[in-house]
Amino acid sequence: TLSPGNLVELDFPRFKVESDAHAVAEEIVRIAPRRSTVYASIPIASLVSTFRRHPYPLLVRLEYSGFERIREHFGDMEMIRRRRVIFFLEGIDTHPSTPEFFAAQLESDRPAIVAYDGRVSTASQIGALLGNAGYIGEKRGPYMLWVRQ
């Protein structure tokens, strides 16, 4: 069973999550003010929530937004709002009105940190909006990490 012919390799265990996303999540947890809100794309947000003391991502996993108890607590309109913010961060929502919507949400929620994959199609728009809103950004591997000043 452990022969090279069976394509089996015996090696040390590897990281089960993407290391760049984990590093960004770890930094967010380290620098975010206690009980603050964070806008982060799902690969990062899902890791932020695994730390013992962590800030609050706007949305952790898209699958959770469909749970009846969560929808009862937040309401459908709030879940739609949260998904739209995250879809913009992930380059999914490219509607012409979305950048203006995103800017309004930044003003309303005032997240302490915003993190997303710098390779998404909306990355330059996101960066411009965050810069105009007073955030300072830095590249972390393929990700961008913006902190509110």
15 confidence band (pLDDT: 50, 70, 90): low
DSSP string, the chain: ---GGGT----PPPPSS-HHHHHHHHHHHHHSPTT-EEEE-HHHHHHHTTSSS--EES-S-GGGGG-HHHHHHH-HHHHHHHHHHHHHHTT----TTHHHHHHHHHHHH--SEEEEETTSTTHHHHHHHHHHTTEEEEEETTEEEEEE-
**Which of the residue ranges 3-12, 18-27, 136-145 would you say has the lowest mean pLDDT?**
3-12
**What is the residue-averaged pLDDT of the chain?**
88
| pLDDT computed for residue 62 by the predictor | 59
Residue range 22-50: average pLDDT? 94
Q: Tell me the pLDDT tens digit for each residue of 52-111.
A: 889 888 877 655 555 555 566 667 788 888 899 999 999 999 999 999 999 999 999 999
What's residue 67's pLDDT?
53
Return the percentage of the chain with pLDDT > 90, whole number: 62
* pLDDT score recorded for residue 144: 98
Other residues' Cβ atoms within 10 Å of the Cβ of residue 125: 17
DSSP-derived secondary structure letter, 113: E
What pLDDT does 139 receive? 97
